[in-house]
Structure 1
Amino acid sequence: MRGMGNMQGMMKKMQKMQKEMMEAQNALNEQEFEGVAGGGMVTVKMNGERKVLDVVLDESVVDPEDIEMLQDLIIIATNDALKKVEDTTASTMGKFTQGMNLPF
């Protein structure tokens, strides 16, 4: 019977950890991240779910003769925001999966 007590204790710990993980993931999903490019001429905001919320362009970067530069800056700003989401997710959720080799 002693093994059953250990199993119940482990199950309670797992349930607590699962609840904490869900709370941490929900907090990450609500958090906003900002990526910038061109010294702030292009800004992309996204949430922790990696959904783009806003794109802000400085007037000076809108040149009909150089659309490629604007496209590049938007890509750079978007990738910058994505990296911030990924880094924050890894550091926040990593404490739950440390040593488990599990994707999150």
Structure 2
Amino acid sequence: MKDIMGLMKQAKAMQEKMQGLQQEIADVSATGQSGGGLVQVVLNGRNELASLKIDPSLLKPEEGDILEDLIVAAHNDARTKLEVQIAEKTQALTAGLPLPPGMKFPF
């Protein structure tokens, strides 16, 4: 019975830490860029597009395809950086827990 109470306390503490982590992740942002910085994309921790900046030199009708490719590349760069930050924060929280390899929390 004593072990069950201890386990319940650990579960509650973990739940509180996870809620804090979710808020921290929501506050994280990552900037991706492409074209040598001509296109910049900022994603927040919920993987939402927070901002998009395009250098005016790219706003020519004949360069529409290039601009589209640069936006996609900048978004992918930001998403990769964001995933790394989230993984680092999650790993810090779960350090020392006996979790199976590759287990991800549902954020």
Taking structure 1 as the reference length, what is the TM-score of the superposition? 0.88
Amino acid across the alignment from 2:33? V
Q: Tell me the distance in 2 between the aligned counterparts of 1:24 and 1:89.
A: 9
Please report how far the alpha carbon of residue 21 of structure 1 lies from its aligned counterpart in structure 2 after TM superposition: 1.5
CA distance in 1, matches of 2:87, 2:78: 14
Deviation at 1:99, TM superposition (A): 4.5
Please say which structure displays the higher CA radius of gyration: 1
1:12-48 Cα deviation digits (max 9, x unpaired): 1121112112101211112221111111110111100
- TM superposition shift of 1:63: 2.0
Q: Flag the 1:99–1:88 CA change in 2: closer, same or farther, 3 A.
A: farther
Change (3 A) 1:7 1:53: same
Partner of 1:32: 29
Tell me the TM-score normalized by structure 2: 0.85
Q: 1:91 aligns to what?
A: 88
Shift of 1:54: 0.8
RMSD: 1.5
Alignment partners' CA distance in 2, 1:99 and 1:34:
33
1:62 to 48, 59, 63: 59
- TM-superposed CA distance for 1:52, in Å, is 0.4
Q: State the distance in 2 between where 1:37 and 1:58 align.
A: 11
- The size of the alignment, in residue pairs, is 101
Partner of 2:72: 75
Which runs of no fewer than 5 residues in structure 2 stay unpaired? none
State how far apart, in whole Å, the 2-side matches of 1:42 and 1:5 are. 58
Distance 2:22 2:83 in 1: 12
2:104 match = 103
Runs of 4+ in 1 over 4 A off after TM superposition: none
Question: Percent same amino acid at aligned positions?
Answer: 32
